[in-house]
Amino acid sequence: MKKEDLIIGSHVGFSSKEQLLGSVKEALSYGANTFMFYTGAPQNTKRLPLDDNLTYEAYQLMKENSIDLSKIIIHAPYIVNLGNLANFDFSVSFLQGEIERASTLGIKYMVLHPGASVSYTKEQALNSIIDGLNIILDNDKDVTILLETMAGKGTEIGSTLEELKEIIEKVKFKDKIGVCLDTCHLFDSGVDLNNFDAYLDDFDKEIGIKYIKCIHINDSKNLSGSHKDRHENIGLGNIGFNTLIDIIYNERLKDIPRILETPYVALSDNDKEKIYPPYKYEIKMIKNKEFDNKLLEKIRNNE
Ligand SMILES: [Zn+2]
């Protein structure tokens, strides 16, 4: 596929002052044409009221810059865990609120980490996740939950096609459920990314490729099969630049947003206070299909 057809962006902020408008501005500053954000801090439940005027201004700015609202992604906070029966009611009600917020903002997709079994069995956790999704998914709201493929760290659910398949099969509203691939998580879970088409074939056979609605593009600090989940900047990890480029330009995922969640870069090893977003530089490299040996230097110097 051509670089002009790429739908590519990164994780961006969602500030109390500018809300969605600020997110659009940040995405544009990276040369992105899509983006993903948390509607509030991912580690707490504080959520400010949404300002319709800011949302309207954001829509205008998106329109002027050909950003398609229907491709924008919200990421659910990581404090919710539908697999943990002890905290089930909290997770359900908080996610219902997040769906409401997504719907108010006109955003169609919400990425969710399926959950972790913690002190329960895998089967109990899977059933709990399915029950939760069947309560949360609401046919009146046009918001689809995308289950993220996980690295399999600790007791995480969702690092195998079998687990994702079981959840999707038992979810009632099939048009409100999908999958978000994550290259770092796939790699860490043991998938051979040099054979990405073979993975897509398996996915299609088990679940159906049409369920893939988003892909997180990250390199990995760890080795394949490590079950670690630590993201690395594009081309600086163990997946490598060329493998990631082949995945990004894969025709079979043509109309799907590619979202970078790579780490901010610190000014130096001694100065971890000052950190800079890498996205403008990574998007440029991806469009050029050429790794830039001076990537870190350029990010630090804001060139
Ligand atoms: Zn995620």
- Ligand 1 (ion): residues with CB under 5 Å are 148
Instruction: Check: CB of residue 115 under 8 Å from CB of residue 83.
Output: yes
Query: How does the average pLDDT of the chain come out, rounded?
Result: 95
Alpha carbon distance 9, 283 (integer Å): 8
Q: What is the mean pLDDT of residues 251-264?
A: 96
61 three-class SS: helix
Centroid of ligand 1 to alpha carbon of 272 (angstroms): 23
Could you give the domains of the chain? 3-301 (3.20.20.150)
Centroid of ligand 1 to alpha carbon of 297 (angstroms): 27
Taking 3-state DSSP, the helix, strand and coil percentages for the chain, each rounded to the nearest 5, stand at: 45, 15, 40
- Higher-confidence residue: 87 or 267? 87
pLDDT in tens, 99-152: 999 999 999 999 999 999 999 999 999 999 999 999 999 777 899 999 999 999
Instruction: Check: CB of residue 33 under 8 Å from CB of residue 72.
Output: no
Instruction: Check: CB of residue 87 under 8 Å from CB of residue 123.
Output: no
Centroid of ligand 1 to alpha carbon of 191 (angstroms): 17
Centroid of ligand 1 to alpha carbon of 113 (angstroms): 6
Centroid of ligand 1 to alpha carbon of 74 (angstroms): 10
What confidence category does residue 48 fall into, taking pLDDT thresholds of 50, 70 and 90?
confident
- Higher-confidence residue: 44 or 171? 171
Q: What is the mean pLDDT of residues 228-246?
A: 97
Regarding pTM above 0.85, the answer is yes
Centroid of ligand 1 to alpha carbon of 116 (angstroms): 13
